Amino acid sequence: MQIRPRTRLLLLSLAITVGCKTTDTTEPNAKATGAEVGEDGASSGGEDITIDPDALASGVDAEIEAAPVEARAREKPAAPQTRDAALVAVAHGNPDGAVKFLLEELGNKTSDHEAMFALARGQRLIGQLDAAEATVTKVYESAKDAAVKASALRRLAHLRIARGDIKTAEQHIRDARKLAPDDILLKGELVRLMFQTGRAGETEARQLIDELYASYSDGTAQSAEQLLGTAYAGLAERAFKSASRVLQEAEHAAPPSNGTELGDEISMELTALFLEKYKPDEAGQTLAQVLERDPWNPEALANMGWVHLDQFQLAAASRTADEALQVNPENADAHAVLAWVALIEGHRDVARAHIVDHVINVNPAHAGGQIVLAALAIFDRDKPAYAKARDAALAFNPRDGQFYSKLSDLLGYLHLYPEADTVLVEGAKRLPDDPYIQGALGLSKLRLGDELAGREALEKAWKKDKYNNRTLNVRQLYSERIEPHYAERVSGDLTLRLPAESQEMLAPGLSAAIVRARKALDSGYGVKISPLRIEAYADPDEFSVRTVGVPSLGAIGVCFGPVITSLGPYSGTHNFNQVIWHEIAHSYAIQLSEGRVPRWFTEGLSEWESEVADPSWARESAELLFEARRHDKLRKLSELELAFLRAESPLMMEVAYATAAWAMRYLGQTYGRPKIVALLEGYATGKSTDELFKQILGKDLLTVEAEFSKWFDSELDRKLSGWRPSQDQKDDPRVKSLMKAIETAAAGNLDQAKEILEKLIAANGDGFHTRTTLAAVLEQKGDNQGAIQQYEKAATFALESLDPWVGIAKIARAQKDIPLELDQLEKILAIDAMSFDAPLRMLVLATATGDPRMSAALDRVNAIAPLYPAALAASALRLHRAKGDKKLIKSMLDEVMVTALRPDATMDVLVMAAIATDEIGDPRVEDLAPRALHSEELPDAMRKRLKKHAP
């Protein structure tokens, strides 16, 4: 997966000039008018502004310095002193205090049924299941009222379910129904148990369901208890929309804010339903209502952990699970959540311990726990262990398709895509009509490139369950977007899916980039990924739904091995050539490691391979890493997996990617690609990084880590040298001098500001910020040559910074020195492969002056936004010069004219379209040339040429 920020971070830019101009980033669209782009491709900025260095620095500092959000520490609540206070405490964050008081208060008295049930509730919440069962049993045995005895039996059934004892639970419900045969909730409870054990089709269940539906239809079901009972009928019928509506009616009748045990039960049922249908946001909102009343409700916290897992927010999932354990140290769901997190993070022994020691000893059939053991067995290729876990989970309900679908989700998190598919195929053989299995199987087949089987499985799922969010989304994507608006182009073993209307113009360039990547990587890794399917979507939600079944993924490319999905180069947001090289490199890592490669290794490796292909693609982020190091936020090599999985901000995710890129750069440069290949093959055996480093590199992980850290520090210091002002060193005389220079320049005293800065340079204050500030002051004074010299010197202190070359380019542009500006733009492109403005400007200037760098600029522009009108015009011109397909040239120009002939077309589009149509001989030059001549920056030779088309 690749997540790349749109713009470079500016860290501690204390020396941005007085009265500098901001530069917006162009995000062109295939149909864009380019209205945001200024003369000849330059971005129009805002008003002249003064940068507040403190504000700029503190913003980044604050995000880097922010400590990871830890689990809350539970403060000991005040002990209740009365019965009524104890009953409130159970529902408001102090179940242990309530239990302690009520045990003493009630003693051997069992007649206070409300207090006894509250005591049992508290015992359950703090994990004392045996004690809770004993308390409720006392109520059942001593009560005279049949309704109270029935209520006690229902509670006993729930306690048995928590133990995985479904047989005794069902007997309790049947005994309760003898006491209250017309009780709607008890009817629903029996239906629920029969449904959960795969018996909803039996005659008894069918009769009860009919009775429950009738009670709702005739208005008999009015109370929260009765509505919950009828909702169970809807769930058993898979009438999820109706069940959800009735559950919400029940929630309204017993709102979470009231704190009743039944109200919380309803909330948990709603949560489970939303999670089942892949609607984690709604599940989270439901739980939030419980936690607003009781911030320490362990059942709500544990379930919130599942919500966060569904959203792949591992740090948040761990936090809420840890918080649940502060109240109930043996909460099985919380331990299962922590086991999922540990397994995803590569801590297999920790995951196993959570399940063995804290989950299956409580409930041997706990689905979340047995799924972890099944995934561990699959990772270890232990078929008997897998069968044992599967059979234990299905002992509760042999027809539980969610065991297979949830296991496939977990295997997907582990990048074990073929194994996930195998599990689902097995599930489909056992339960061919199960919609959860078929829905997950459909996604799995699509991820592995089998579109026919994938869509067939989705249709089967849809017929049985029309409320599964993933199934719904993917079906709609294919029927409403992919089928009518996308087309496939097959070339040998490569299938490329692109928007149909622009496929003819896009496919040649994108295919060429893919072929280059495959050829290089085939050679480097000694294997061939074949066949390969790449799908480039135009809309982020289309890409996200195709990839994970739901919108808002937040990435730009994902690799499943033989299938890669991505956002295409349609909006100028990323360099598609870099993204596709990165993702294709993942395919080799997945194949060689059989999916068992750690995230940090495969992400760093893909970044390194991209850099080898084109140095401008390097994800170095030296300034960000420098600041992260200064704040002690860099992860060690042995901690890099956590850096990815526990990052809770885009900034720290960028730190993770950048650090991994440097790590793999170090391993690649130090040990060579053959060792990298050997490590990947070693991961396929299930060995750890430490074991493989010892075996293949001859050093343990800690030794390699120490050597990498030393090298990494030296590289960062090489990239960023000289004095660098720091936000936390405001008393440093050099910082004061720099600030005084900025303030002096802002007041218009440029000579004095220059003097202060020159003294600062001589007084151990020489560095990037001092030099760029001095350059800006000299520029304000009109000393452009002096400013250029200072910018060039500044560049030696910050090797990745664009600012010096941007500064010189600005001077060159003001002087109309096109060769000098082109030189600076070339330097910018060598550092930054993601931004669009610089290559667009370079393209226009180079084309207008006949500079040979036009081709390199066009290649870069086409990697970012090939359908942008100026890019299309240049592509048509280059194809014409190569005596290419005349039909394609005309199609390109026709597309350009959609924008170029409009009165609001920007100058970069007009100039490029005029140049192209002039040289190609397209008559529409007569419309374009007169308008292009309004450009004040058009070179004389080109101006003379276009003038012949002016009236």
676-693 pLDDT tens trace: 999 999 999 999 999 999
Instruction: Read off the pLDDT of residues 395-411 as tens digits, 9 standing for 90 and up.
Output: 888 889 999 999 999 99
Query: pLDDT grade, residue 130 (50/70/90)?
Result: very high
Residue positions counted in the chain: 951
Instruction: Give me the sheet containing 532-537, strands edge to edge.
Output: 486-491, 494-499, 532-537, 563-567, 557-559
In this prediction, residue 151 carries a pLDDT of: 98
For 686, the token pair is 């299930």
- Segment 356-365 shows an average pLDDT of 96
Reply yes or no on whether the pLDDT at 22 is more than 60: no
Q: What phi and psi, each to the nearest 5 degrees, are found at residue 352? A: -65, -40
Portion of the chain with pLDDT greater than 70, in percent: 93
Q: What's the whole-model pTM score?
A: 0.88
Query: Among residues 479, 411, 482, 483, which one has the least CA distance to residue 441?
Result: 411
pLDDT attached to residue 10: 24
pLDDT for the residue numbered 951: 80
The per-residue pLDDT for range 910-942, each reduced to its tens digit, is 999 999 999 999 999 999 999 999 999 899 999
Q: What is the pLDDT of residues 493-532, one digit of tens each?
A: 999 999 999 999 999 999 999 999 999 999 999 999 999 9
Strand, coil or helix: 72: coil
Is the pLDDT confidence value at 612 over 80?
yes
With a pLDDT cut of 90, the percent of the chain lying above it is 84
The whole-angstrom separation of Cα 289 and Cα 350 is 32
Residue 512: predicted pLDDT: 95
**Predicted confidence (pLDDT) at residue 171 exceeds the cutoff of 90:** yes
CB 96 within 8 A of CB 122: yes
DSSP state of 720: B
Three-state DSSP class for 564?
A: strand
**Per-residue pLDDT at 4 exceeds 70:** no
pLDDT > 90? residue 738: yes
* pLDDT score recorded for residue 23: 32
pLDDT at res. 728: 74
Please name the residues in contact with 482: beta carbons below 8 A apart, sequence gap of 6 or more.
497, 542, 546
**Token pair in block for residue 707:** 């050597």
pLDDT-derived band of residue 553, with 50, 70 and 90 as boundaries?
A: confident
For residues 638 and 659, give the distance between their C-alpha atoms in angstroms, rounded to a whole number: 12
Averaged pLDDT for residues 752-780: 96
Distance CA 130, CA 120 (A): 10
pLDDT at residue 1, as a whole number: 64
Residue 805 contacts residue 838 (beta carbons within 8 Å) = no
- CB-based burial of residue 161 (10 Å sphere; 0-12 exposed, 13-18 middle, 19+ buried)? buried
**Which residue would you say has higher pLDDT here, 124 or 67?**
124
Predicted confidence band at 554 (pLDDT cuts at 50, 70, 90)?
confident
Helix residue spans in 835-938 (DSSP H): 837-849, 854-864, 869-881, 886-900, 907-920, 925-932
Which amino acid, one-letter code, is at 836? F
476-481: average pLDDT? 97
| Pairing label, strands 557-559, 486-491 | unpaired
User: For residue 66, what pLDDT band results from cuts at 50, 70 and 90?
Assistant: low
DSSP letter for 636, please.
Answer: P
Q: Which two tokens stand for residue 9?
A: 């971070």
Q: How confident is the model at residue 645 (pLDDT cuts 50, 70, 90)?
A: confident
pLDDT tens by residue, 287-304: 999 999 999 999 999 999
Higher pLDDT, 40 or 417: 417
Domains and CATH numbers, the chain: 25-50+835-951 (no CATH), 488-593 (1.10.390.10)
* pLDDT single digits (tens) 568-602: 999 999 999 999 999 999 999 999 999 999 999 99
Give me the mean pLDDT over the 229-239 stretch.
93
CA distance 318 to 347: 14
DSSP assignment of 4-62 equals --SS----S-TTPPTTB---PPP---TT---TTB-GGGPBP--S-B---HHHHHHHHHH
Region 712-727: mean pLDDT is 93
Q: How far apart are CA 50 and CA 60, in angstroms?
A: 18
Question: Are the C-beta atoms of 502 and 867 separated by less than 8 Å?
Answer: yes
Q: Confidence class of residue 48 from pLDDT cuts 50, 70 and 90?
A: very low
Are residues 161 and 141 in contact, defined by beta-carbon separation less than 8 angstroms? Answer: no
Using an 8 Å Cβ cutoff, are 259 and 297 in contact? no
Quick one: which of 598, 675, 608 has its CA closest to 637? 598
CA distance 895 to 889: 10
Asked if residues 118 and 133 have their Cβ atoms less than 8 Å apart, the reply is no
Average pLDDT over residues 26-40: 39
**pLDDT over threshold 50, residue 248:** yes
What pLDDT was estimated at residue 894?
A: 97
Q: Look at residues 132, 160, 225, 233 and name the one whose alpha carbon lies nearest to residue 191.
A: 233
* Residues 821, 812 contacting (CB under 8 angstroms): yes
Q: Look at residue 35 and tell me whether its pLDDT is greater than 80.
A: no
Per-residue confidence (pLDDT) for residue 392, from 0 to 100 = 95
Model confidence band, residue 30 (pLDDT cutoffs 50, 70, 90) = very low
CA distance 569 to 506: 9
Q: Of 42 and 289, which is predicted with more confidence? A: 289
Res 648 pLDDT > 90: no
Inter-residue contact 4 to 619 (CB < 8 Å):
yes
Read off φ and ψ for residue 535, nearest 5 degrees: -120, 120
